[in-house]
Amino acid sequence: MLRTFRKVHRITGACLFAFFFVVAGTGLLLGWKKHSNGIILPKSYTGASTDMANWLPITSLHRNACRILHDSISSTLALDLERIDVRPEKGMVKFVFLDHFWGIQLDATTGELLHIERRRSDFIENVHDGSIVDHLFGIKGEWFKLVYTSVMGTALVTFTITGFWLWYGPKRMRKTM
């Protein structure tokens, strides 16, 4: 049984070494993103008012964000949104765009630009979970991500079980001798 576990452990490790390295490295970066001084995860800025009654309509803010993106970054960037983060406690609305890793933070009251951000944490997350492949090749339904996370999760469970038995098996054999 120990030989079988050792062989499974060795073969799985050899086949998935590069993937484990990527998952570990990106996982480490994601763990530190809030403590990176804005390098990995951009700081959220504060607007003029936290009273939502004073805020501009989302459609107006969206128009401003799109104009700022095209004027400040590139007029060729797509304007499709991944999400809109509304931060009432900060008086700020953040527009995160879908096909590139840019975000625009606006003062929700005045519509003025608070910050243009490069979304490095989103890119790192996409590499971490494999969805970057779906993104780059236009794979609909995130099939690569599903297969990748299934393989990596199963491999982690396999490593845990075989690693435990590689540690515990010799101890158990010594006790029975």
Is 7 part of a structural domain of the chain? yes
pLDDT at 44: 94
Mean pLDDT value of segment 112-121? 96
Residue 134 is assigned to a structural domain of this protein? no
18 occurs within a structural domain: yes
Quick one: what percent of the chain has pLDDT higher than 90? 77
- What is the model's pLDDT at position 5? 81
Q: Where are the alpha helices (DSSP H) in the chain?
A: 2-32, 58-72, 120-129, 131-137, 143-176
The DSSP letter of residue 139 is: -
| DSSP assigned state of 33 | G
Could you give the angle at the alpha carbon of 147 between the alpha carbons of 144 and 152, nearest 5°? Answer: 120
Listed in sequence order, the DSSP H helices in 33-142 are 58-72, 120-129, 131-137
Whether the per-residue pLDDT at 2 is higher than 80: the answer is no
Q: Would you state the pLDDT for residue 125?
A: 96
Residue 173 has pLDDT above 80, yes or no: no
Give the 3-state secondary structure of residue 98.
coil
What is the predicted pLDDT for the residue at 83?
A: 96
The reply to whether 133 falls in a domain is no
Can you give the residue range of the structural domain that contains 39? 2-128+139-176
Looking at the DSSP bridge assignments, the partners of residue 92 are 87, 107
Q: How large is the average pLDDT for residues 50-68?
A: 97
Query: Considering the domain boundaries, does residue 72 fall inside one?
Result: yes
In a domain, 75, yes or no: yes
- Closest by CA to 100, choosing from 68, 123, 134, 121, is 123
Identify which has the larger pLDDT, 85 or 4: 85
pLDDT at 127 over 80: yes
> Phi and psi of 96, rounded to 5°?
-110, 125
What are the pLDDT digits (tens) for 135-156?
999 999 999 999 999 999 999 9
Domains contained in the chain, number: 1
In sequence order, which ranges of 33-94 are alpha helices (DSSP H)? Answer: 58-72
What's the mean per-residue pLDDT of the chain? 93
Q: Is 28:64 a contact under the CB 8 Å cutoff?
A: no
pTM of the predicted structure, to 2 decimals = 0.82
Is residue 124 within 8 A of residue 40, CB to CB? The reply is yes
Model confidence pLDDT, tens digit, residues 6-54: 888 888 888 899 999 999 999 999 999 999 999 999 999 999 999 999 9
